[in-house]
Structure 1
Amino acid sequence: MRKNRLAVVGALAAVLVAVTGPAAVAHDEPPTLADLAQRHGRYFGSATDNPELTDAPYVSLLGSEFDQITPGNGMKWYATEPQQGVFDFSQGDEIVDLARANHQKVRGHTLVWHSQLPDWLTGREWTAGELRVVLKKHIQTEVRHYRGKVFAWDVVNEAFNEDGTYRDTIFYRTLGPGYIADALRWAHQADPRVKLYPNDYNIESIGPKSDAYYRLAKELRAQGVPLHGIGLQAHLALQYGYPATLEDNLRRFSRLGLETALTEVDIRMYLPADEEKLATQAEWYGDLTEACLAVRRCVGITLWDYTDKYSWIPAFFEGEGAALPWDEELRPKPAYYAIRDALK
């Protein structure tokens, strides 16, 4: 598939440039990524963040190309409960309202995470009893607020270390590993219809970390804990190689009766980007799209924002970037055409 794809991508790019020129009329516009994904029963989405919503060209493309949105930050704990018991859903609501106007669905992100917590939560010691009350209230207040407005929640984010041991977080330290099952149960009580996922990075390949999620999923299912899917973030980097066992990994979760989703996709590289790196990146985007399409219970793909203009990568990985299918000028890159090719 790979060799053929690059040739097809080049041809497709030329065709799309032709049909989207000034003379193009509405009925000649090519189908969007969302249109193409829907033909396979999948969604194709993008994360976004509130400060970006003042950028009209960006918002226009966000609203037209995708059928799903994830708020990058606006539903996290620091934003939604900045003071204990004082809730502020304004940032999440803004993105939900935008999605509703564009007939897009929203993935809730995220209820329980060790990062981006408010100071009132991290700045003191809690007993297990106290923290259980705080955690349950936070989860249920937020899930109830967005009941019927989101289709899935990343309930617990990044719970494991690379070696498959539990990450040492305020929740694990104070409550033990049972906090994950409790979080899922509490979220389900607050919205029995929403799909509930754990979500993590570096679990695309079969290995110690993804094995930990596989074991956890089997245990939770055996205990009757509400768990509907596994979110594989898919923050990839060219220097670490493509996760060749991705499709097999998706299949083994599928055999447990679970959905999977690629929830935060980007593929970074050392800068400057060049033709060879962009071609490899395009191959990878095509391959991971094909892997999702090959597994029936892989329900969709979400880019972690769609344009390099708003990528988180340069701020967190020095000397790296160019991770997304659109460049900083909102122009499609080879990766965009590779995704289209895979979705055809």
Structure 2
Amino acid sequence: MHIRTPRRATRLAVTAAAATALVLAGTLPATAANGKHPSLRDAAPADLVIGTAAAGGGHHLAQDYEGLEPGQSPFLHDQQYRRELKHEFSSLSPENQMKWEFIHPEQGRYDFAEADAIVKFARQHKQDVRGHTLLWHSQNPAWVEEGDFTAEELRAVLKDHIQTLVGRYKGQIDQWDVANEIFDEGGNLRTSENIWIRELGPGIIADAFRWAHEADPDAKLFFNDYNVEWKGPKSNAYYALIQDLLKQDVPVDGFSVQGHLSTQYGFPGDLRENLQRFDDLGLETAITELDVRMNVPEGQQPTESQLAQQADYYQQALEACLAVDDCNSFTIWGFTDRYSWVPVFFTGEGFANVMTEDYERKPAYYALRDTLLAAAGGK
């Protein structure tokens, strides 16, 4: 576990508009002491980890990637991808490799191979790991969703899963997304979609946090969701629930916003204020899955205007995190368009990451890096 040091007062010295303008104008990037351009992890303040998802599992299993055999994991088999991963980032999140269907495909059988490889890689390269995710309504295996369990048996299944995973990586995973996407857009619990809440009742949420804490008392335990970047029914529901759980001494340590944004919508201008109110409860906060997708006609590339807007959104999200004292983890959901989940799930949208398919840095990359340098006092 890392000990964070206070952020410098100069962290917001460069505004989003100014830094983006410098990037788009072609200003030469700042250089590190060794004469090379600093990476994102090198540019960051000491108290902020810069993370990305480690691509594998999920939709990747059905994709035909150039240079990889069908079903091969980008994380395991793309060497250029691995070089960028260790060079640019100080934190890794398994994209799918710790989700139920991947790591626990059959009752009584776990497949830890790729999750172990991610944790080993992170340890070798002095990176943190965010565990993702323990209690969720999606990507559960058929044996869970279609199993003929009593409530007592299903409860035991969940407890075993949580404590097996968290216990296996005790001391090696800094933050866990314990409960993921438990509310709908109206701020109501997903009682019909989420098998755990539907069959075991809302109290299972507190139990999941308690079980994770028992397995690793030092890991920070988070709620995580999308469309909670602003104040609204969904984020308000988390705010109320967390207050209630804290009164019950449930070990909730953090609240994180995923940050799956699109340039066809406005940037959530109250992101900073929303993070701050959870910080005021004594929680850590994080941005965990940031990407900014764009509508681009098939066969075309984003325009300069689109790239500028994308860079602005990335930078505004980072500045919101930097402005909140205990927002100490900032993760982008993939860094290269080569392996982005967006085109698979959003027809007509894509180019959501900070590097192209060929690992060329976009304006969004430089907007992040220059903002980090400003926050760290221009180191």
- TM bucket (normalised to shorter chain) is over 0.9
Written as runs of structure 1 = structure 2, the 5 A alignment for 1:210-229 is: 210-229=235-254
Structure 2 counterpart of 1:143, one-letter code: V
Q: Does the 8 A contact of 2:167 with 2:216 survive in 1?
A: yes
The equivalent residue for 1:192 is 217
Partner of residue 199, structure 2: 174
Partners of 1:217 and 1:115 in 2: CA distance = 22
Q: 1:312 aligns with which of 323, 341, 361?
A: 341
Shift of 1:26: 8.2
Residue 42 of structure 1 pairs with residue 65 of structure 2: no
**CA RMSD, aligned part only?**
1.5
Structure 2 residue 321 is matched with structure 1 residue 297: no
Mean alpha-carbon deviation: is it higher for 82-91 or for 223-232? 82-91
Deviation at 1:341, TM superposition (A): 2.3
Q: How many residues align?
A: 336
The one-letter amino acid paired with 2:83 is S
CA distance in 2, matches of 1:38, 1:96: 23
2:290 corresponding residue in structure 1: 265
- The 8 Å contact of residues 150 and 194 in structure 1, kept in 2 or not, is answered as yes
Secondary structure of residue in 2 paired with 1:108: strand
Could you tell me whether the CA contact under 8 Å between 1:286 and 1:341 is conserved in 2?
no
Amino acid across the alignment from 2:143: W
Offset from partner CA, 1:91-143 (integer Å, 9 cap, x none): 10011111111111111111111111111111134322121111101100111
**Which ranges of 4 or more aligned residues in structure 1 deviate by more than 4 Å?**
none
Q: State TM-score, norm by structure 2.
A: 0.86
Q: Distance in 1 between matches of 2:139 and 2:38?
A: 37
* Matched letter for residue 199 of structure 1: N
CA contact (8 A) 2:287 2:331 kept: yes
Which is bigger in relative contact order (C-alpha 8 A, separation at least 6)?
Answer: 2
User: Separation in 1 of the partners of 2:111 and 2:130?
Assistant: 18
More helix by share: 1
Q: State the percentage of identical aligned residues.
A: 49
- Pairwise CA distance, 1:5: 2.7
SS class of match (1:219): helix
User: Which of the numbers 227, 247, 250 marks the counterpart of 2:272?
Assistant: 247
| Structure 2: tracts of 5 or more residues without a match | 1-14, 57-72, 375-379
In the alignment, the residues of structure 2 paired with residue 316 and residue 106 of structure 1 have an alpha-carbon distance, to the nearest angstrom, of 26
In the alignment, what sits opposite 2:74? 52
SS of alignment partner, residue 227 of structure 1? coil
Residue 27 in 1 paired to residue 56 in 2? no
SS class of match (1:280): helix
Name the amino acid aligned to 1:44: I
Conserved? CA contact 2:24–2:308, under 8 Å? no
| Residue 329 (structure 1) aligned to one of 354, 358, 361 | 358
- Aligned partner of residue 299 in structure 1, secondary structure: strand
- Is contact 1:8–1:341 with CA below 8 Å preserved after alignment? no
Matched with 2:3 is: none
